[in-house]
Amino acid sequence: MEETVGTRVRLDDANVILVGRSQEQVALLLNDAIHKVMSRYSANLASAGITLSTDALERMVCFAVLRRMYVLNAMIPQDRKSREWIGFAEYDMTGDPLVRDVVRRFCSKFFGKDYHRYAAAVLGIPTDEFATWERRRIEFLNMW
Protein backbone atom coordinates (compact mmCIF):
# COMPACT_ATOMS: atom_id res chain seq x y z
CA MET A 1 0.00 0.00 0.00
CA GLU A 2 1.30 3.44 -0.93
CA GLU A 3 1.65 5.98 1.85
CA THR A 4 -0.15 9.27 1.16
CA VAL A 5 1.79 12.30 2.27
CA GLY A 6 0.20 15.55 3.30
CA THR A 7 0.70 18.73 5.24
CA ARG A 8 -0.79 19.58 8.62
CA VAL A 9 -1.86 23.17 9.24
CA ARG A 10 -2.72 24.34 12.77
CA LEU A 11 -4.39 27.59 13.66
CA ASP A 12 -5.70 27.80 17.22
CA ASP A 13 -8.35 25.07 17.41
CA ALA A 14 -8.20 24.35 13.66
CA ASN A 15 -6.11 21.31 12.89
CA VAL A 16 -6.26 20.43 9.20
CA ILE A 17 -4.40 17.82 7.18
CA LEU A 18 -4.20 18.49 3.44
CA VAL A 19 -3.54 15.08 1.95
CA GLY A 20 -1.36 14.98 -1.12
CA ARG A 21 -0.07 18.53 -0.62
CA SER A 22 3.52 19.47 0.13
CA GLN A 23 4.35 22.21 2.63
CA GLU A 24 5.53 24.41 -0.23
CA GLN A 25 2.25 23.98 -2.16
CA VAL A 26 0.16 24.69 0.91
CA ALA A 27 2.21 27.76 1.85
CA LEU A 28 1.95 29.22 -1.66
CA LEU A 29 -1.77 28.54 -2.01
CA LEU A 30 -2.62 29.68 1.50
CA ASN A 31 -0.57 32.88 1.36
CA ASP A 32 -1.89 33.85 -2.07
CA ALA A 33 -5.51 33.17 -1.14
CA ILE A 34 -5.25 34.96 2.22
CA HIS A 35 -3.71 38.01 0.57
CA LYS A 36 -6.46 38.21 -2.07
CA VAL A 37 -9.33 37.59 0.33
CA MET A 38 -7.88 40.11 2.83
CA SER A 39 -7.80 42.73 0.07
CA ARG A 40 -11.38 41.95 -0.97
CA TYR A 41 -12.75 41.95 2.59
CA SER A 42 -10.83 45.12 3.52
CA ALA A 43 -12.35 46.88 0.53
CA ASN A 44 -15.82 45.60 1.48
CA LEU A 45 -15.44 46.92 5.04
CA ALA A 46 -14.14 50.29 3.84
CA SER A 47 -17.07 50.57 1.44
CA ALA A 48 -19.48 49.89 4.32
CA GLY A 49 -17.67 52.37 6.59
CA ILE A 50 -16.86 49.69 9.15
CA THR A 51 -13.51 49.39 10.86
CA LEU A 52 -12.12 46.04 11.93
CA SER A 53 -8.59 45.51 13.22
CA THR A 54 -6.20 43.97 10.73
CA ASP A 55 -5.42 41.19 13.22
CA ALA A 56 -9.08 40.28 13.64
CA LEU A 57 -9.74 40.37 9.90
CA GLU A 58 -6.64 38.31 9.15
CA ARG A 59 -7.63 35.68 11.70
CA MET A 60 -11.12 35.38 10.23
CA VAL A 61 -9.76 35.19 6.68
CA CYS A 62 -7.21 32.52 7.66
CA PHE A 63 -9.93 30.32 9.14
CA ALA A 64 -12.23 30.85 6.13
CA VAL A 65 -9.55 30.12 3.54
CA LEU A 66 -8.23 27.13 5.46
CA ARG A 67 -11.71 25.63 5.83
CA ARG A 68 -12.44 26.08 2.13
CA MET A 69 -9.04 24.63 1.24
CA TYR A 70 -9.61 21.56 3.43
CA VAL A 71 -13.01 20.77 1.92
CA LEU A 72 -11.83 21.34 -1.64
CA ASN A 73 -8.79 19.15 -1.04
CA ALA A 74 -10.96 16.35 0.33
CA MET A 75 -13.34 16.51 -2.65
CA ILE A 76 -10.78 16.39 -5.44
CA PRO A 77 -9.46 12.96 -6.42
CA GLN A 78 -5.69 12.66 -5.97
CA ASP A 79 -4.98 12.40 -9.71
CA ARG A 80 -6.71 15.72 -10.45
CA LYS A 81 -5.40 17.84 -7.56
CA SER A 82 -2.79 19.80 -9.50
CA ARG A 83 -5.32 20.97 -12.11
CA GLU A 84 -8.13 21.74 -9.68
CA TRP A 85 -6.04 24.07 -7.51
CA ILE A 86 -5.40 26.44 -10.40
CA GLY A 87 -7.32 29.60 -9.62
CA PHE A 88 -8.03 28.78 -5.97
CA ALA A 89 -6.89 32.22 -4.81
CA GLU A 90 -9.07 33.94 -7.43
CA TYR A 91 -12.17 32.03 -6.34
CA ASP A 92 -14.75 34.46 -4.98
CA MET A 93 -15.57 33.01 -1.58
CA THR A 94 -18.42 35.46 -0.89
CA GLY A 95 -21.22 33.02 -1.71
CA ASP A 96 -19.50 29.93 -0.36
CA PRO A 97 -21.61 28.55 2.53
CA LEU A 98 -18.51 27.30 4.36
CA VAL A 99 -16.91 30.73 4.23
CA ARG A 100 -20.13 32.51 5.18
CA ASP A 101 -20.43 30.24 8.18
CA VAL A 102 -16.90 31.10 9.35
CA VAL A 103 -17.65 34.82 8.95
CA ARG A 104 -20.98 34.42 10.78
CA ARG A 105 -19.40 32.58 13.71
CA PHE A 106 -16.52 35.04 13.96
CA CYS A 107 -18.77 38.11 13.83
CA SER A 108 -21.33 36.71 16.26
CA LYS A 109 -18.54 35.94 18.73
CA PHE A 110 -16.95 39.39 18.53
CA PHE A 111 -19.88 41.72 17.79
CA GLY A 112 -22.78 40.15 19.64
CA LYS A 113 -26.33 40.97 18.56
CA ASP A 114 -25.16 43.38 15.84
CA TYR A 115 -23.13 40.71 14.05
CA HIS A 116 -25.39 40.63 10.95
CA ARG A 117 -24.25 44.09 9.94
CA TYR A 118 -20.57 43.20 10.32
CA ALA A 119 -20.83 39.84 8.58
CA ALA A 120 -22.70 41.34 5.62
CA ALA A 121 -20.14 44.15 5.40
CA VAL A 122 -17.20 41.71 5.41
CA LEU A 123 -18.80 39.66 2.64
CA GLY A 124 -19.82 42.77 0.69
CA ILE A 125 -23.50 41.84 0.55
CA PRO A 126 -26.67 43.59 1.77
CA THR A 127 -27.68 42.82 5.36
CA ASP A 128 -31.04 41.41 4.24
CA GLU A 129 -29.28 38.98 1.88
CA PHE A 130 -27.13 37.76 4.75
CA ALA A 131 -30.18 37.43 7.01
CA THR A 132 -32.00 35.39 4.33
CA TRP A 133 -28.99 33.11 3.90
CA GLU A 134 -28.75 32.62 7.67
CA ARG A 135 -32.49 31.88 8.01
CA ARG A 136 -32.25 29.27 5.23
CA ARG A 137 -29.16 27.78 6.84
CA ILE A 138 -31.01 27.35 10.15
CA GLU A 139 -34.03 25.85 8.36
CA PHE A 140 -31.74 23.38 6.60
CA LEU A 141 -29.98 22.39 9.82
CA ASN A 142 -33.31 21.95 11.61
CA MET A 143 -34.45 19.43 8.96
CA TRP A 144 -32.21 16.82 10.48
Over residues 1-18, the pLDDT tens digits come to 344 578 888 887 778 888
- As a whole number of angstroms, the distance between CA 97 and CA 24 comes to 28
CA distances (Å), origin 120, targets 24, 27, 52: 33, 29, 13
Residue 82 or 72, more confident: 72
Residue-averaged pLDDT of the chain: 84
pLDDT of the residue at 103:
94
How much is the pTM? 0.81
CB atoms within 10 A of CB 37: 24
Among residues 142, 40, 49, the alpha carbon closest in space to that of 94 is found at 40
8 A C-beta contact, residue 62 and residue 70: no
pLDDT at 66: 87
